[in-house]
Structure 1
């Protein structure tokens, strides 16, 4: 648990420095076990640039607190972290408020199309000759409904070849995931670059 907290604190500081976790916003998680599903999640209400290894809580498959963490509590969004980890098999999930993702979700609420960009290789796709769509779902406060909406855009067989480890929440931010916390960070960084490029070159004027 200490190692998970230490890793989450380091990544939180990195993202805060980028301006993607301003103040207490955003949250990160890593899977601790799968039978039953347990995740370590950054605690709610704390400055994400100043977390310590102790500033994490453990949640179950519904994002509910497991045990007592000396007054610390998980974000309400922990439930979506758990759903993403369960559905995708990811071992780490990051939720960030990069402005590029918020703008992209506003401009393209049905999904953000990306093509002919070298950075797509980092998301598991060809740099040319392939169109990739980052899915967008509407914002909401019920994480069970958010999880259902995520599954609707992620699971259809027709989209499996187009799969990306990124989800945009309209008017909110993005989630990215990976086999490790480092890979989840890479996916977030690549997606942010792709979204920023697309917003700056293709957004309606």
Structure 2
């Protein structure tokens, strides 16, 4: 490993920039209470051919990450050789990040454990239908006269099982899905768009759960 190249040929400057951006976004989501404990993970695509992603490490407080707390993984979510910090483990969900990057063409992926996702997955196990909401425009859909469904898939400790459940449910447009009793994934062309999609989907999930028949708003 030279001073210019590391982790399977990724330039050091590119990896450090990705690490800084991932640490900043992780701190933002931790501050929202969406990455409690050491939960959640984020990633950005570094190269497409071959597919390489920088993924936040496992087991650390996401509000305290540094630029070095990332691992470069391949298309299967496996750490590539010549890591700058070879003892840092990638997120256990890195394989799912890689599948989303490949299948959806995402360049940045956010996974958080916000309560809104857990509740929405509980109340809408067959998918969360949404329509006539202005915020739908924030995920590239119409605000009116269209029903948009956010997929909900069963939880599993096997990331390939989650990916196999999500892929056939995905309409090719909605940049998010819910993992039942777990959390949500959202993505975009960069970390900023992925953050916006995450925030918007969390808003939509909260609205749907609180206005369902018998929900906290509907009950008043």
After TM superposition, the score normalised by the length of structure 1 is 0.95
Task: Name the SS of the counterpart of 2:177 in structure 1.
Answer: strand
Q: What's the CA shift string for 1:4-27, capped at 9, x where partnerless?
A: 000000000000000001111000
What are the equivalent positions in structure 2 for 1:126-205 lying under 5 Å apart?
126-154=142-170, 159-160=171-172, 163-202=173-212, 204=214
- The correspondence of residues 1-205 of structure 1 with structure 2, limited to 5 A, is 1-67=15-81, 68=83, 69-154=85-170, 159-160=171-172, 163-202=173-212, 204=214
* Partner secondary structure for residue 174 of structure 1: strand
Write the distance in 1 (CA, Å) between the matches of 2:205 and 2:44. Answer: 25
For residue 218 of structure 2, what is the aligned residue in structure 1? none
8 Å contact kept, 1:21–1:48: yes
1:33-85 CA distances to partner (integer Å, 9 max, x unpaired)? 01110000000000000000000000000111112433101111000000000
In structure 2, the gaps of 5 or more residues are 1-14, 216-220
Provide the C-alpha distance between the structure 1 equivalents of 2:162 and 2:127, rounded to a whole number of angstroms: 16
Q: Please tell me the root mean square deviation across aligned C-alpha atoms, in Å.
A: 1.0
Distance 2:51 2:166 in 1: 18
* Structure 1 residue 148: Cα displacement: 1.1
Deviations along 1:150-185, one digit per CA (max 9) or x if unpaired, are: 21211xxxx34xx21001000000000000010000
User: Highest Rg: 1 or 2?
Assistant: 2
Whole-angstrom distance in 2 between the partners of 1:19 and 1:104: 17
Kindly state the Cα deviation for residue 204 of structure 1 after the two structures are TM-superposed. Answer: 4.5
Q: TM-score, normalised by structure 2?
A: 0.88
Indicate conservation of the 8 Å contact 1:107/1:203, yes or no: no
Corresponding position of 2:6? none
Runs of 4+ in structure 1 off by over 4 angstroms are none
Structure-2 change in CA distance of 1:73 and 1:121 (3 Å)? same
Report the count of equivalent residues: 199
SS at match of 2:28: helix
More helix by share: 1
Question: Which whole-Å CA distance do the structure 2 matches of 1:124 and 1:203 have between them?
Answer: 27
Q: Which runs of 5+ in 1 are unaligned?
A: none
